[in-house]
C-alpha cells in the first residue's frame, strides 16, 4: 500500500465510521472478558439489530479503558460516556439511552482524576479501535509513520529522531533506545534481527498484554520502523503462551499487515522488506532476560549467558539483534508521527515520555494507567488510584516486581523516573505497581517475591540457584518466629553475595525486595525476630512469646 492509498483508506474508514450517530465500544480485553464482556457485546449487537438501530449505531469490540476494577466497561462515542460494570440485562436500557439520554445508574465518571490525570501515548488507541480490524488502526493514522519513514526518511534520520526524543527502554532498566538502535545499526552483518520482548512475567503486571491485545498493529509498526533504522529483515515477537488473547490478536494483525503490504517485500512501495514471526514462550520468567529469550527463540533451553558480547553485537544465531520491550515499540510510531520534540516535552529531564503501570493491590481503582514521567507516587496512589479502601493507612508501594523494591509511604512524594526510583532502592521496572497497606506484613511481602525468584531461577549459576532458596528459607524462618539475629546477618550477607555475583538480572536483582524492606521496615523484621510478633498479624508465629 502506497502512502497515497493509505491516506485514502484512512479517510474512507473515518467517513464510514462517521455515518453512525453512535458507537458503542465494548472492552474485550482479558480483564473485561473474564467478567463477561463477550456476552455483553453479543447482547448489545442483538439488541441494536432488534430495535433496527444498526444503521445509526455501530457496536464493536474494543480495548482496555484501564479501570479494570469496574469491568465490563463500554463507552458510547462520540458522547464519550463510559459505563460499567455492565451486564447482559443492561443491553436494552443502554440501547434506549442512545435516544433518551445517559443511563445514569451505570455511568462511570470519566472526568474523575483516574482518567484526567493520565496521559495516553502508547494506549492512545486502546478502547477507541477494534483491535482485530486494521482499518480501524489506519483510521487513527496508523501505519502513516511507517509509510513516511520508508518513503521519505533515511535510516540515519530515524535514528536521529529516536535519539532526540530521549526515549528509554520500557522493559525496566531504562537503556536509551536511540543508543541501542545506533549500536545495532553500526554492527556490520548481512543479517540482523529485531525482537519484541513480550514475555511479561512480573506478578501483577499486565501492561504489555494490554498493548498487544488492544493495539497489536502499533507494535508491528514500531518494529518495522526499528528494522528499517537498523537494517534488519526479520523480526520476532516473543510472547508468553499464557496470553492466548494477545497471541490471537497478534496473529490476526500480522496476517492483515502482510496482506496490506506493511510487512513482506517492498513495504509501502519502497525497497524495504521485513517479516515478523511469532514465538511463544513456555512460561519461564527468566526468558524475559534478553540472552535467555534469544536462546528460547533459537529453540534451546531458556538460560541466560554472560554478556558481553551483547545481543546488539552477537544476538540471535550470533547476528546483531535489537531487543526492545513491547511498550518501547509502542512509543515509536507516536514519536515519528508527532516528532521527537513533542515527545520530549512530556516527562522529566532524563526520563521522557509516559509510562504504563498496572496499578494493583490495596487501592480503590485498580487497573491500567499511563502517566507522564515525573508524576509523584502519591498522585498515582491517591488521585488516580483513589486512595486506600476502607480508610486504611498506606504502608508503601512496590514497583518493579520481584526485581524491584518497596517505597515507604513517607517517600511517596518522589517523582516517578528511572533515577529517583533507583535512588530509593527500587526500579522503574516494566510497570507493575502494587499498593501495600497496613494489613500486609513487609517480611511476608519480601518472602513472597523471594519465593517467586527461587522458583523462577533457571539454575544455571550457583549464587542465584542456591542463594535464592537459602534466602527464602531464612525469610520463612523469620515469618515463623524462629529466626535469630544471626540469621538476619546471614540474610544480609547472602543478599550482598547474590546481588554482586549472579549471572543475569534475575539473580542480581532478586535481593532487592529484601534489601528495600530491610531499609525502610527494619522494625518489622525486628518485631518478628526479637519479639516473635508480626505487627500486621499476617504471619502465624510458631513461638509467640508467652506472657
Q: Is 460 in the site for other proteins (CB under 8 A)?
A: yes
Site for other proteins in 282-311 (CB under 8 A): 284, 301, 305-306
**Closest approach of Cβ 457 to other proteins, in Å?**
4
Q: Is 87 in the site for other proteins (CB under 8 A)?
A: no
Site for other proteins in 238-277 (CB under 8 A): none
Among 156, 244, 459, 537, binds other proteins (CB under 8 A): 459
Q: Is 438 in the site for other proteins (CB under 8 A)?
A: no
**Closest approach of Cβ 474 to other proteins, in Å?**
8
Q: Measured from the CB atom, is 162 or 498 closer to other proteins? A: 498
Q: Measured from the CB atom, is 222 or 467 closer to other proteins? A: 467
250 contact partners, CB below 8 Å, separation of at least 6:
212, 216, 219, 237, 239, 278
Among 98, 123, 454, 483, binds other proteins (CB under 8 A): 454
Encode burial over 434-462: b for 16+ CB neighbours within 10 A, e otherwise. Answer: bbbbeebbbbbbbbbbbbbbbebbbebbe
Residue 359, phi then psi, degrees to nearest 5:
-85, 115
Among 21, 344, 422, 497, binds other proteins (CB under 8 A): 497
**Closest approach of Cβ 465 to other proteins, in Å?**
6
Q: Is 500 in the site for other proteins (CB under 8 A)?
A: yes
The Cα 205–Cα 196 span in angstroms is 17
The Cα 125–Cα 211 span in angstroms is 9
**Closest approach of Cβ 510 to other proteins, in Å?**
11
The CA radius of gyration of the chain, in Å to the nearest whole number, is 24
Q: Is 456 in the site for other proteins (CB under 8 A)?
A: yes
Q: Is 542 in the site for other proteins (CB under 8 A)?
A: no
Neighbour count for residue 341 (Cβ, 10 Å): 11
395's torsion region: left (phi>0), alpha (psi -120 to 50) or beta?
Answer: alpha
Decide: 101 and 113 in contact? Cβ < 8 Å.
no
Decide: 230 and 154 in contact? Cβ < 8 Å.
no
Question: E strands of 306-418, at which residues?
Answer: 321-325, 354-361, 367-372, 394-399, 405-408
Q: Is 463 in the site for other proteins (CB under 8 A)?
A: yes
The number of residues that bind other proteins (CB under 8 A) is 29
Q: Is 447 in the site for other proteins (CB under 8 A)?
A: no
Among 110, 270, 439, 469, binds other proteins (CB under 8 A): 469
Decide: 439 and 457 in contact? Cβ < 8 Å.
no
Catalog residues that contact other proteins under the rule CB under 8 A: 284, 301, 305-306, 454-463, 465-470, 473, 490, 493-494, 497, 500-503
Amino acid at each position: 500500500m502506497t502512502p497515497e492509498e493509505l491516506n485514502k483508506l484512512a479517510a474512507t474508514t473515518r467517513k464510514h465510521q462517521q455515518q453512525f450517530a453512535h458507537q458503542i465500544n465494548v472492552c474485550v480485553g482479558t480483564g473485561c472478558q473474564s467478567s463477561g464482556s463477550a456476552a455483553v457485546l453479543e447482547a448489545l449487537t442483538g439488541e441494536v439489530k432488534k430495535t433496527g438501530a444498526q444503521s445509526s449505531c455501530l457496536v464493536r469490540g474494543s480495548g482496555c479503558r484501564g479501570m479494570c476494577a469496574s469491568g465490563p466497561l463500554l463507552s458510547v462515542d462520540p458522547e464519550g460516556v463510559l459505563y460499567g460494570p455492565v451486564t447482559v440485562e443492561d443491553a436494552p436500557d443502554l440501547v434506549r439511552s442512545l435516544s433518551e439520554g445517559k443511563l445514569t445508574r451505570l455511568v462511570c465518571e470519566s472526568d474523575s482524576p483516574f482518567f484526567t490525570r493520565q496521559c495516553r501515548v502508547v494506549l492512545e488507541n486502546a478502547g477507541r479501535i477494534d483491535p482485530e480490524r486494521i482499518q480501524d488502526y489506519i483510521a487513527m493514522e496508523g501505519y502513516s509513520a511507517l509509510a513516511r519513514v520508508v518513503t521519505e526518511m533515511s535510516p540515519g534520520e530515524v535514528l536521529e529522531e529516536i535519539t532526540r526524543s530521549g526515549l528509554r527502554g520500557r522493559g525496566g532498566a531504562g537503556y536509551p533506545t536511540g543508543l541501542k538502535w545506533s549500536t545495532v545499526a553500526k554492527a556490520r552483518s548481512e543479517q540482523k534481527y529485531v525482537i519484541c520482548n513480550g514475555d511479561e512475567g512480573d506478578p501483577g503486571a499486565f501492561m504489555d498484554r494490554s498493548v498487544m491485545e488492544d493495539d497489536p498493529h502499533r507494535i508491528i509498526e514500531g518494529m518495522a520502523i526499528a528494522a528499517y533504522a537498523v537494517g534488519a529483515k526479520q523480526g520476532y515477537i516473543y510472547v508468553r503462551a499464557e496470553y492466548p488473547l494477545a497471541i490471537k490478536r497478534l496473529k490476526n494483525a500480522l496476517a492483515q499487515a502482510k496482506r496490506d503490504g506493511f510487512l513482506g517485500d517492498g513495504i509501502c512501495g519502497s525497497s524495504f522488506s521485513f517479516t515478523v514471526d511469532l514465538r511463544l514462550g513456555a512460561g519461564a520468567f527468566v526468558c524475559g532476560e534478553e540472552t535467555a529469550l534469544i536462546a528460547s527463540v533459537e529453540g534451546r533451553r531458556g538460560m541466560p549467558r554472560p554478556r558481553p558480547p551483547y545481543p546488539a553485537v552477537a544476538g540471535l544465531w550470533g547476528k546483531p539483534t535489537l531487543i526492545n520491550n513491547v511498550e518501547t515499540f509502542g512509543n515509536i510510531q507516536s514519536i515519528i508521527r508527532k516528532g521527537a520534540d513533542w515527545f520530549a516535552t512530556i516527562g522529566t529531564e532524563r526520563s521522557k515520555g509516559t509510562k504504563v503501570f498496572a496499578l494493583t493491590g490495596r487501592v480503590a481503582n485498580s487497573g491500567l494507567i499511563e502517566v507522564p514521567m515525573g508524576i509523584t507516587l502519591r498522585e498515582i496512589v491517591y488521585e488516580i488510584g483513589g486512595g486506600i479502601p476502607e480508610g486504611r493507612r498506606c504502608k508503601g508501594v512496590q514497583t518493579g516486581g520481584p526485581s524491584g523494591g518497596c517505597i515507604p509511604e513517607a517517600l511517596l512524594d518522589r517523582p516517578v523516573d528511572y533515577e529517583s526510583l533507583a535512588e530509593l532502592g527500587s526500579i522503574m521496572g516494566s510497570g507493575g505497581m502494587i499498593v501495600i497497606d497496613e494489613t500486609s506484613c513487609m517480611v511476608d511481602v519480601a518472602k513472597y517475591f523471594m519465593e517467586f525468584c527461587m522458583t523462577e531461577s533457571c539454575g544455571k549459576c550457583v549464587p542465584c540457584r542456591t542463594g535464592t532458596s537459602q534466602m527464602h528459607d531464612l525469610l520463612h524462618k523469620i515469618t515463623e518466629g524462629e529466626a535469630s539475629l544471626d540469621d538476619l546477618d546471614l540474610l544480609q550477607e547472602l543478599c550482598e553475595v547474590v546481588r554482586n555475583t549472579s549471572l543475569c538480572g534475575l539473580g542480581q536483582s532478586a535481593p532487592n525486595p529484601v534489601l528495600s524492606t530491610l531499609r525502610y521496615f527494619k522494625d518489622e523484621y525486628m518485631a518478628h525476630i526479637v519479639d516473635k510478633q508480626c505487627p500486621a498479624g499476617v504471619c502465624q508465629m510458631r513461638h509467640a512469646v508467652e506472657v
